[in-house]
Amino acid sequence: MKILITGGAGFVGARLARTLLARGHLLGQDITRLVIADQVAAPADLLADGRVEARVGPLLSHCAALADEPVDGVFHLASAVSGECEADFDLGLRSNLDSTRALLDALRARTLAGGMPTRLVFASSVAVFGPDPVVPLPALVGDTTLPAPQTSYGMHKLVCEHLIADWTRKGFIDGRAARLMTVTVRPGRPNGAASSFFSGILREPLAGEEAICPVDASVSHPVSSPQRTVEGLIAVYEASREAFGGRLALNLPALNVTVQQMLDALVAVAGPQVRARVRFVRDERIAGIVANWPAGATAERAARLGLLPENNFEDIVRQYIRDCAGHPTALKGTT
Asked if 262 contacts 202 with a C-beta cutoff of 8 angstroms, the reply is: yes
For every residue of 228-293, DSSP letters joined together read HHHHHHHHHHHS-HHHH-SSS-EEPP-EEEEHHHHHHHHHHHH-HHHHTTEEE---HHHHHHHHTS
With b meaning 16 or more CB within 10 Å and e meaning fewer, what string describes 152-163?
Answer: bbbbbbbbbbeb
Beta bridge partners of 26: 29
Rounded to a whole number of angstroms, the minimum distance from the CB of residue 156 to ligand NAD is: 9
Rounded to a whole number of angstroms, the minimum distance from the CB of residue 222 to ligand NAD is: 10
Alpha carbons within 13 A on the beta-carbon side of 253: 23
User: What number of H helices and E strands is found in the chain?
Assistant: 15, 14
Is residue 320 annotated as part of the catalytic site, yes or no? Answer: no
Rounded to a whole number of angstroms, the minimum distance from the CB of residue 103 to ligand NAD is: 10
> Could you list the residues that contact ligand NAD (CB under 6 A)?
7, 9-13, 38-40, 58-59, 77-81, 95, 99, 123, 125, 180, 182-183, 333-334
Which distant-in-sequence residues (6+ apart) come within 8 Å of 203 by Cβ? 185, 186, 187, 211, 320
| Residue of 153, 198, 293, 313 marked catalytic | 153
Rounded to a whole number of angstroms, the minimum distance from the CB of residue 242 to ligand NAD is: 26
The residues carrying an active-site annotation are 153
